């Protein structure tokens, strides 16, 4: 018997001698199917039978067969303790990635929004959708010790990273 190599949207029959069409795989949502078992070979952002978002993605669009990357922090997302010396500049940076981020908000331990002006400086750096960062800077003092939170407000869910001075 000869080896059967099936084209993209076909798989081997039960005895492995003929190619038959894949039942569930759409050329709009996939690159084809696995020739041995018919499993759809989905585009990167798709999962299941390529008609839903893969893990880590949301907002399935049947129009262009795509999903958006869920916003997430890069690196450690646990409470980050920051050692500071009174009088020195404090730089708290949250690095993140993902789609649908409406804006980044910093709040202090009293849940009050921290904005540019006065003792605080907030900056944003955006290389691509895959890497962005926001930095909160200020001169350390006993009155400013405590918690600071970087919040990503987005279409999927709001997420936050907390810093403890």
75-89 tens-digit pLDDT = 877 888 998 888 889
The phi, psi pair for 143, rounded to 5°, reads -70, -25
Q: What is the pLDDT of residue 135?
A: 95
CB 137 within 8 A of CB 147: no
Question: Which candidate, 79, 81, 95, 148, places its Cα nearest to that of 119?
Answer: 148
- How far is the C-alpha of 33 from the C-alpha of 26, rounded, in Å? 9
Q: What is the pLDDT of residue 2?
A: 62
Task: Evaluate if residue 1 carries a pLDDT over 60.
Answer: no
What the block records as the tokens of 24 is: 């569930």
Task: Evaluate if residue 120 carries a pLDDT over 70.
Answer: yes
- How far is the C-alpha of 51 from the C-alpha of 28, rounded, in Å? 10
pTM equals 0.75
Q: What is the pLDDT of residue 121?
A: 94
Question: Which candidate, 126, 128, 132, places its Cα nearest to that of 74?
Answer: 132
The β-bridge relationship of strands 80-81 and 159-164 is: parallel
Return the DSSP state at 43: -
Task: Evaluate if residue 148 carries a pLDDT over 90.
Answer: yes
What is the CB-side half-sphere exposure of residue 9 using CA atoms within 13 A? 10
- pLDDT confidence of 130, banded at 50, 70, 90? confident
Task: Evaluate if residue 145 carries a pLDDT over 90.
Answer: no
In DSSP terms, 20 is beta-bridged to 11
- pLDDT confidence of 156, banded at 50, 70, 90? confident
**Which of residues 164 and 118 earns the better pLDDT score?**
164
């Amino acid at each position: 018997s000869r080896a059967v190599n099936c084209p993209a949207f076909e798989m081997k029959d039960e005895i492995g001698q003929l190619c038959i069409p894949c039942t569930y795989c759409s050329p709009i949502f996939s690159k084809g199917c696995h020739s041995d078992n018919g499993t759809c070979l989905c585009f990167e952002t798709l999962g299941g039978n390529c008609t839903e978002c893969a893990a880590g993605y949301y907002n399935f669009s049947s129009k262009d067969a795509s999903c958006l990357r869920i916003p997430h922090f890069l690196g450690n997302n646990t409470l980050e303790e920051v050692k500071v010396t009174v009088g020195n500049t404090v730089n708290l940076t949250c690095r993140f990635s993902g789609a649908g981020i409406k804006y980044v908000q910093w709040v202090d331990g009293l849940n009050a929004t921290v904005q540019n002006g006065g003792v605080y400086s907030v900056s944003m750096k955006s290389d691509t959708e895959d890497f962005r960062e926001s930095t909160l800077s200020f001169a350390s003092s006993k009155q400013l010790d405590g918690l600071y939170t970087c919040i990503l407000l987005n279409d999927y869910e709001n997420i936050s990273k907390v810093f403890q001075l």
